[in-house]
Amino acid sequence: MNQVIVYDTTLRDGAQGEGISFSLPAKIRIARCLDEFGIDYVEGGFAVSNPKDMAFFAEMKKVKLKHAKLAAFGSTRRANLAAAKDPGLAAILEAGTPVATIFGKSWLLHVEQVLRTTPAENLAMIADSVRYLKKHGLEVVYDAEHFFDGYRDDADYALQSLAVAAEAGADALVLCDTNGGRLTSEVKDIVAAVARRFPGALLGIHTHNDSDLAVANSLAAVEAGAAMVQGTINGYGERTGNANLCSIIPGLVLKMGRKTACGPRLAQLRRVALLLDEIADQRPLKSRPFVGESAFAHKAGMHVDAVSKTTRSFEHVDPAAVGNERRILMSELSGASNVRLKTGEMGLVFQKDSPAVKDILHKLENMEKNGYQFESADASFKLLVQKVLKKHVPFFELQGFSVAVQKMDAASKATTVATIKVAVKGQTELTAGEGDGPVDALNDALRKVLRRFYPAVDSVTLEDYHVRILNPETATKATTRVLIDSSDGHERWGTVGVSENIIEASWEALVDSVEYKLFLDEQRRQTEKK
């Protein structure tokens, strides 16, 4: 009972989430990643639903997984059709996986109004399908669809649907909260009742997040006797998603003391979560528990002061345990503790009553009154500190720029040309750049100037660009805040610019982005000299 099996359905249930579609190479890459992480079962797709899933199963026959078992998903046989003649079951066999996961009906509402068959025939469909797959040597996981809704309406029938699956040889009985509407107390009570009814069975739990309780319901089910948990990475899935394995796994290991095969690799969790977001082309949610960028981010001065003394005061687990890290945010709520910890990351050590800390706080407060925000702009804050301490030596100085946007007619595409004049290492450089818009053109022009002096600028890519109108009531005279996320392939940083002119705000954030890269490189060179 201390060991919990983790069953991943990202490639099937997760792919049903809005805006998510995995290519065949992406599915193979994900399967390998989940296997390396220690996931026990990887559900590859609905065997009969589309050719892409069947192509995946064909390709996976060439891939040797180290730990995970690959499962093909399908349904019980059709009503009034022999299992041997059912195309869905035939597709599962064709998939060639060692595991078959099939779902059947536990709720009479679905039996009578969706399948439009009899309760007796539905039970026969379950039993025949499990028996047929077992006869062909497969491990069979039986998903009791809508089990909790069915149990509430007619507990005896819901239990019968499990009983026939168990008697036919199902290796696992999985209770599904398919509509995601059950409360945690209900799930725990019902799982406990099923565990008493089937004392020797391997029980599983499969929950959806329509009531924002999928993780809680999954953990409660384990407490009540379930030993298999189904879910998806990052909670991808139909409607509001499936149970999020990135919260369930650390909950099992760190909170409940349960063992999982991926427990020893828990420090890889954030990397896995980010990789899946990248492959699925989803923007990572900062607020995700455990793996989100904000999961261990501290903003209020009181919180930061407490964390600096003992991390347990405002952190429920060690960030490193799940591959994450602590972040200290700078804002109007910051105090001296925030500044000291944040500047400590830069190798600067200040005493509690240091005048420098007060100067930095004063500058920070004034800038935030004018619309600056440094929570997502660490790089701009670190450059600001250097300027307040009068340690900043600019790598280049702007002497002027102009941007021209031209559109010849209604059918033509607008073109943008930016001209900049910059002083670099005592030399004045004048050049022009083209781009899809003003910021792109300025970026192109700036790189043309700088790459001769600082070749490292070519490694900087602009990952994201955010624009926020701070006072929309002033219409076109509104102040604009621009946030740019940049990366050099090793590190990622954010910069900010503020102005009533969106191009000027963008230029300010763009310059900070490039200067921060050069600042980082200079720091590394100084460290190597020592």
In this predicted structure, the answer to whether residue 190 has a pLDDT above a threshold of 80 is yes
Distances, alpha carbon 400 to alpha carbons 32, 264, 435, 438, in Å: 52, 56, 18, 15
Q: If DSSP states are collapsed to H, E and C, what string results for 247-295?
A: HHHHHHHHHCCCECCCHHHHHHHHHHHHHHHHHHCCCCCCCCCCCCCCC
- The whole-angstrom separation of Cα 105 and Cα 247 is 28
**Residue 334 pLDDT greater than 80, yes or no:** no
Question: Domains of the chain by range and CATH?
Answer: 5-280 (3.20.20.70), 297-369 (no CATH), 396-453 (3.30.160.740)
The tens digit of pLDDT for each residue in 85-114 reads 999 999 999 999 999 999 999 999 999 999
Residue 426 DSSP symbol: T
pLDDT at position 348 is 62
Task: Quickly state the pLDDT bin for 1 (edges 50, 70, 90).
Answer: low
**What pLDDT, in 10s, does the model give residues 12-46?**
999 999 999 998 989 999 999 999 999 999 999 99
Band (pLDDT 50/70/90 cuts) for residue 293 is confident
In the prediction, which pLDDT does 160 show? 97
pLDDT band, very low/low/confident/very high, at 475 (cuts 50, 70, 90): low
Rounded to two decimals, the pTM is 0.72
**What pLDDT is attached to residue 422?**
93
Closest Cα to residue 260, out of 300, 231, 294, 297?
231
Mean pLDDT of the chain: 90
Query: Over 60: is that where the pLDDT of 332 sits?
Result: no
Least confident of 179-193, 212-226, 327-341, 482-496: 327-341
At 335-372, the pLDDT tens digits run 666 666 666 665 666 666 678 777 877 787 778 777 88
Higher local confidence (pLDDT), 354 or 164: 164
Which range has the top average pLDDT, 177-186, 326-335, 356-365, 459-468? 177-186
